[in-house]
Amino acid sequence: MASISLVVFLEMFLSSYTKLHTTFTNNEKDNDVIEALHTLEILKNRNMKF
């Protein structure tokens, strides 16, 4: 249960971080953040199955 809430917190933090820094970073860095968000989404889906 704690791991799910931690993943949700990290996801919310990363998405707000992405919105904050989108205009300040180049495309490569944006792609890294989007990839991290995608990985978090996969992890969240895996946690929901358990």
What pLDDT is recorded for position 28? 60
Rounded Cα distance, 13 and 8, in Å: 9
Residue 23 DSSP label: T
pLDDT reported for residue 21: 59
pLDDT tens, residue by residue, 1-50: 567 787 888 787 777 776 665 555 555 666 777 788 888 888 888 876 54
The answer to whether residues 37 and 15 touch, using CB atoms and an 8 Å cutoff, is yes
Give the CB-side neighbour count of residue 37, counting CA atoms within 13 A: 15
Structural domain count of the chain: 1
CA 29/CA 36 separation, integer angstroms: 11
Expressed as residue numbers, the domain containing 37 is 2-49
